[in-house]
Amino acid sequence: MDHRLSPELEELRRTVEAFAHDVVAPKIGDFYERHEFPYEIVREMGRMGLFGLPFPEEYGGMGGDYFALGIALEELARVDSSVAITLEAGVSLGAMPLHLFGTEEQKRQWLPRLCSGEILGAFGLTEPDGGSDAGGTRTTAVRDGDDWVINGSKCFITNSGTDITGLVTVTAVTGRKPDGRPLISSIIVPSGTPGFTVAAPYSKVGWNASDTRELSFSDVRVPAANLLGEEGRGYAQFLRILDEGRVAISALATGLAQGCVDESVKYAHERHAFGKPIGSNQAIQFKLADMEMRAHMARVGWYDAASRMVAGEPFKKEAAIAKLYSSTVAVDNAREATQIHGGYGFMNEYPVARMWRDSKILEIGEGTSEVQRMLIARELGFAG
C-alpha cells in the first residue's frame, strides 16, 4: 500500500498544521489552565469546514471521508488534544450517527448546523454502572402515544454541555426480545428538552479545555420521530460508530505521540547542560529515535485501518490494532517527553505536561485497551 498523501490531503494537512501552530498553540494553554471551553477556536474550526470533513456537500459537508478527518485530528493533537477530541467527538459521535442512520428529514434538520460547527452533537452511551458493558444499558424509553418518555442517566459524555450543544443521541432500552434480552434503541434528544439535565463539568486529569458531563433524564419527552434508525438497532449502531471512532482516536493518539517528539526534539536542541545541548547525549538521541519510531508505526496503523474503511473493506481488526497500539505509544512518548524535559516537563507552561496528562485517557475512551485485545482475539477466531 502507498500511504503517501494525495496532493489534496497534503494541502489539508498543511492547512490544519498551520492553524494548530498559529491559532491553537498560542491560546490553548490558558483555556486549559482555566478548564474553559475554547469557543473562539471551535468557531474557527467550523469556518474552516473541519466539522464537515467526512460528510456530503448536500448536507453542508466538505465531501471528504474519514481519512481526511484523521489527518485533521492528527495535526490538531500534535499541539493540543482538548481541541482534537472536541472535533473527533463532534464528528464521529455527534454527527456521524445521524448521517449513517438518520432519516432524510433528520439529516436535513441537523447535519448542516453540525457540519458548520454552529452546534455540536454528543453520543450518550456510557452509564455509571455500564462502562464497557454497554449491553447492560439501564436507561429506558417507553412509548407513550406519539412520544418517547426517557428515564435514566449517562456519564463521561463529551460535548454534551457546551453553550452550542444542540443534541445528544441517547441509547435506551425500548423493550425486550422474546428471550428477555433488551431491545436497545437510539433516540435524538435536543438540548433544553424539559427533564434533560446536564451536570456541571467533571474535574478531569486531562482534556481540560474540552467539555465532559454527566447527563440525567427524568420523564424526558421527545417525539416518536426522534428515533434514530430502526427500533432495537441501537446496539448494532453504536458498535459501528465505535469501530469507526477507533480509527479517529488512533489518529488523535498518533498526533499526541508525534507532538511529544516535536517538543522534545526542539527542547533537546535548546537545553544545555554541562556545556552542550542535551541532544548531543546518545541517551537522549536514543529516546528520541524510539519515540519517532513509535509515532511512525502508529501512523502506519491508522492509515491502514482508515484506508480499508473508506474502501468499504472489513476493518474491525485493523481499527482495534491501530487504537490499541497508538494509545499505548502515546502514553509511552508522553512519559519519555516529560523525562527529557526534566523539571520543566512537570510545569504546565510546557506542552508536554498537557500531553502527559492527556495521554492516559486514550487507553480508556472509545474502548479500553482490554476491549481492543478482546476484539482482536475474537477476529482471530477465539470466542469471548
Just list the catalytic residues: 366
Please report, for residues 127, 165, 194, the alpha-carbon distance to residue 90 in angstroms, rounded to integers and kept in the order given.
19, 9, 23
Side chain identity at 12, as an amino acid letter? L
Sequence length of the chain is 384
Which three three-digit cell numbers place residue 195?
A: 427533564
Which three three-digit cell numbers place residue 47?
A: 469556518
Contacts for 293 with CB less than 8 Å, ≥ 6 apart: none
Instruction: Tell me how far the alpha carbon of residue 40 is from its chain's centroid.
Output: 20
Return the closest-CA partner of residue 83 out of 53, 44, 116: 44
Angle 327-39-345 (CA atoms, 0-180°, nearest 5)?
A: 45
Q: How far apart are CA 189 and CA 110, in angstroms?
A: 12
Residue 150 is inside which H or E element, if any?
A: strand 147-158
Q: How far apart are CA 41 and CA 20, in angstroms?
A: 10
- 368: region left, alpha or beta (phi > 0 left; psi from -120 to 50 alpha): beta
Please report, for residues 31, 100, 377, 382, the alpha-carbon distance to residue 320 in angstroms, rounded to integers and kept in the order given.
32, 21, 10, 15
Between helices 316-341 and 282-310, what is the axis angle to 10°? 160
Cβ atoms of 150 and 141 within 8 Å: the answer is yes
Side chain identity at 166, as an amino acid letter? G
Residue with cell 493533537: 77
Contacts for 266 with CB less than 8 Å, ≥ 6 apart: none
Contacts for 67 with CB less than 8 Å, ≥ 6 apart: 9, 303, 306, 307, 310
Q: How far apart are CA 150 and CA 142, in angstroms?
A: 7
